[in-house]
Amino acid sequence: CAYWKTVASDSFWSSEGCTVQDVNATYVVCGCNHLSSFAVLMATQDIEKDLGLTVITYIGIIISLICLFFTIFTHCCFHSIRNPSTTLQLNLCISLFVAELIFLVGIDYTNNKIACAIIAGILHYSFLACFAWMCLAAVQLCLMVINLKAVKFFRSHVIRRRYMYPVGYGAPAVIVAISAGVDHQGYGTAKHCWLSMERYFLWSFLGPVCLIILVNLTLFIVIIWILKEKLASLDKDVSTVKESRSLTFKVMAQFLILGCTWMFGLFHVGQGTLIMAYVFTILNSFQGLFIFLVYCVLNRQVRQPFWSSK
């Protein structure tokens, strides 16, 4: 048993991952198991199947899903921490949880063409929703920093909920609807339940992703510049310095979550190297763990009600 394997410009028959399941005098039944890695999301060309990438992806996503579940549970249970920022965090976690769960159970379900296309559409929408909420979180953080001189910056210059949901969930739905209307056959391929690379259909995902990463990067540069100016102008008031330094840490941590990890995916798009695929896969497979650490474990706003409830 073998399949036609394409690596870069070379093609050949390979028996990797294939076994003989049944054989008699008239036919041979073969079975091939080629599990996908997270790198397929950003790859603009066929990537070589790599066992290491697959193992990292599945272990990382399982850990990520557990961490996202506890983050969602925490944000839902402790009403005292509810504010526009935690609302953004909660919806980001929900979108990422759905996206990673569907990826885990459905990315390789290519046996049924219709089901595979539906899975690809759900993945397209879920990951776009993740990026939409990432962008909203970056905008919200920027508004908080711009309004840093106010004592209660959580209550002023915030994104209102009536604007959050149309952008966070509505904009991705519009993109998916337009993409499906233009080329519905672009959903699902023979190898993965993801977007086709033919006719540049994959750019219906990569295009918005590149735009949001660029916006987030610009916002974080503005935020760091404002914080630098703020820290330089502060007096020796300890509480004010601590507050600003705490916000600086939050900015850097959120940059890791909301842009830095996916920027390696852009390098993977351009170079298609195995090293970049590994870096991108490791960082993004464990994204739920990073979110849990930043939004729960290292967040004093969450820790205080948790310990006071005991």
Regarding predicted confidence, which is higher, 130 or 153? 130
pLDDT attached to residue 12: 63
pLDDT attached to residue 244: 61
pLDDT attached to residue 140: 86
Of 40-49, 67-76, 102-111, least confident by mean pLDDT is 40-49
Please state whether the predicted TM-score (pTM) of the whole model is above 0.75. yes
Q: Angle 53-254-167 (CA atoms, 0-180°, nearest 5)?
A: 95
| Interval 56-88: pLDDT, tens | 889 999 999 999 999 999 988 887 777 888 899
Q: Which CATH class is domain 37-308?
A: mainly alpha
DSSP states along the chain: --EEEEETTEEEEE-TTEEEEEE-SS-EEEEE-----GGGGT-SS-----HHHHHHHHHHHHHHHHHHHHHHHHHHH-GGG-SHHHHHHHHHHHHHHHHHHHHHHHTT--SSHHHHHHHHHHHHHHHHHHHHHHHHHHHHHHHHHHTTTSS-TTSSS---HHHHHIIIIIHHHHHHHHHHHH-GGGB--SS-SSB-SGGGTTHHHHHHHHHHHHHHHHHHHHHHHHHHHHHHH--S-HHHHHHHHHHHHHHHHHHIIIIIHHHHHHHHHHH--HHHHHHHHHHHHTHHHHHHIIIIIT-HHHHHHHHHT-
Q: How confident is the model at residue 246 (pLDDT cuts 50, 70, 90)?
A: low
Regarding predicted confidence, which is higher, 231 or 155? 231
pLDDT attached to residue 227: 78
pLDDT average, residue stretch 295-302? 80
Regarding predicted confidence, which is higher, 218 or 162? 218
pLDDT average, residue stretch 209-226? 88
Q: How confident is the model at residue 228 (pLDDT cuts 50, 70, 90)?
A: confident
Looking at the chain, which residues constitute the CATH 1.20.1070.10 domain(s)? 37-308
pLDDT attached to residue 8: 47
pLDDT attached to residue 269: 55
